[in-house]
Amino acid sequence: MPLLYTQNLRREFGGVIAVADVDIEIFKDSITGLIGPNGAGKTTLFNTITGLDFPTSGHVFFKGEDITELPAYKITRSGIARTFQNIRLFKDMTVFENVMIGRHFRGNNPKIVKNKFLNFILGRIYVKKEEKDIYENSIKWLNFFNLLDMRDEYAKNLPYGKQRELEIARALATEPEILFLDEPAAGMNPQETDSLMKTIKRIRDLGITVVLIEHDMKLVMNICDKIIVLNYGKKIAEGTPSQVQNNKDVIEAYLGKTDD
């Protein structure tokens, strides 16, 4: 059974059908690419899956459970993390703090802490233990991305490529089973893109399933096990990189109709 799948997922904005009854299946430990021309509905598909937008109809299943109606924070807590096409870091917080926020809810241990609000104010011992966990895990993820020496820098002051990495680090700090990346290579130079490719593979090797939207075909064709193609909200093809590359509909969607 796929780790995550959608059933007839649809999202309309007024007259625009951004996602048209799409079924996708994401298998564990895979890297799946989601491609399609601008406005194809890729980001909207991500949004409806991660709870930042609600579908007009259809369902999303994760680990066998229907998560369609869950609010974003519960979806994240269930093990789904994401990044954003136009980076949404906490700009005026430090690099370290950004990752700490990613870890925030993992420190919540409902078994010991009942009246949490007061406990925080009182600074109880188990609060400290949770904070320690957040602190140490944040360091772990900063190390993973070589961001540790920039830890006290404000996020907004990082170079663009580093901001993209920080956003991934923050997402990973939520300890997801599946990670959605929306155009992670956008705005990166070729060296940065290369290192990003390696990073994505390292993430997969940690046992985290990756789904990514990308316009950089070299990256997509190189690292994805499976590619899904959207056009005008519809899924027009899926398969291995070579299958998709040679698919007539895909070529048409990207290049326009060639006959006539």
Partner 1 sequence: MLNFILLIFIYIGIYAIAAMGLNLIVGYTGLLSLCQAGFLAIGAYTTAVLMTTFHMGFWESMIISGFIASLFGILIGIPTLRLKGDYLAIATLGFGEIVRNVILNWDSVTKGPMGINGIPGPSIFGTTLSSMDKPAWIVIIWIFVAATYYFIRRIIRSRVGRALEAIREDEIAASSMGINTAKYKIGAFTTGAFLAGIAGSLFAAFNQSVAPLTFDFMMSIMILCMAVLGGLGNSFATIVGAVIIVLASELPRLMGISHIIPPQLNQILFGLILVLMMIYRPQGIIGRIKLNYAKIVKEEISDLEK
Partner 2 sequence: MNLFNIPSNELLQHLINGLTLGAIYSLIALGYTMVYGILKFINFAHGEILMAGTYAGYYFYYFLYDPSKGAAYTIGIFIAALVIAMIASAILGVVIEKVAYKPLRKAPRLAPLLSAIGVSIILANLAALFFGTKSKKFEYPFNNSSMDIGGSSITPNQLMILAVGLIMMAGLKLFVDRTRLGKAMRATSQNQPVAALMGINVNLIISLTFAIGSALAAVAGVLIALEYKVYPTMGTMAGLKAFIAAVVGGIGNISGAMLGGIILGLLETFGVVILGIPQGLKDTIAFSVLILILLLRPSGILMKNIREKV
Ligand X SMILES: Nc1ncnc2c1ncn2[C@@H]1O[C@H](COP(=O)(O)OP(=O)(O)OP(=O)(O)O)[C@@H](O)[C@H]1O
In angstroms, the CA 239 to CA 227 distance is 5
Q: What does 184 bind: Mg ion, ligand X, partner 1, none (CB cut-off 5 to 8 Å by kind)?
A: none
Nearer to partner 2, 182 or 238 (CB): 182
Q: Calculate the CA dihedral of residues 236, 204, 105, 69 and round it to 10 degrees.
A: 20
Nearer to Mg ion, 85 or 199 (CB): 85
Please list every residue from 41 through 80 that binds ligand X, using CB under 6 A. 41-44
Among 77, 140, 215, 234, binds partner 1 (CB under 8 A): 77
Both tokens of 14, joined, read 């007024």
List Cβ neighbours of 26 (8 Å cut-off, separation of 6 or more): 2, 3, 4, 5, 32, 178, 209, 211
**Is 174 a residue that touches ligand X (CB under 6 A)?**
no
Binding mask 79-118 for ligand X (x = CB under 6 A): ------x---------------------------------
Nearer to ligand X, 36 or 58 (CB): 36
Nearer to partner 2, 46 or 62 (CB): 46
Q: Could you tell me the smallest distance in angstroms from the CB atom of residue 258 to Mg ion?
A: 26
In angstroms, the CA 1 to CA 9 distance is 18
- In the three-class reduction of DSSP (H, G, I as helix; E, B as strand; rest coil), residue 16 is classed as strand
List Cβ neighbours of 70 (8 Å cut-off, separation of 6 or more): 51, 78
- Total residue count of the chain as it appears in this document: 260
Among 5, 27, 90, 232, binds partner 1 (CB under 8 A): 90
Both tokens of 17, joined, read 């059908």
Among 85, 94, 199, 245, binds Mg ion (CB under 5 A): 85
Give residues in contact with ligand X (CB under 6 A): 13, 16, 18, 36, 38-44, 85
